[in-house]
Amino acid sequence: MSRFPFAAVVPVTVLAAASLLGGCAGNTIAPSYATTNPNLQVGGAKPVDLAPTLENAGSFCLEITEKWHEDGKTPDGQKLFAKDTARKVVPCAQ
């Protein structure tokens, strides 16, 4: 037979679980949405779409278009913006 009766083990387990959860609930971390990625923006107004640019690739050129779109929200309600980049082969201007 066991030394500790079942009735004594259950309250100790419940008490340990409650203290563990209570300790975690008091230490809420404030969110930080800092990013160094130039293709993402958190919060604020939607960034301005730039005019298409032309890049010379030797025997052809690329027209590069960048457009921003809203891509959801953070848990605290700030808007997320992401940049789409499109490239199209075009003749180079002479």
Q: Residue 76's pLDDT is what? A: 87
Over residues 68-90, the pLDDT tens digits come to 999 999 988 999 999 999 999 99
Pick the more confident residue, 17 or 39. Answer: 39
Over residues 26-50, the pLDDT tens digits come to 567 777 788 889 999 999 999 999 9
Q: Say how far apart CA 43 and CA 9 lie, in whole Å.
A: 50
Residue 65 has pLDDT above 90, yes or no: yes
What are the structural domain ranges in the chain?
6-90
Question: Which residues share a beta bridge with 89?
Answer: 62
Q: Residue 47's pLDDT is what? A: 94
> For the chain, percent helix, then strand, then coil, each to nearest 5?
20, 35, 45
Exposed/middle/buried for 30, CB within 10 Å: 0-12, 13-18, 19+?
A: exposed
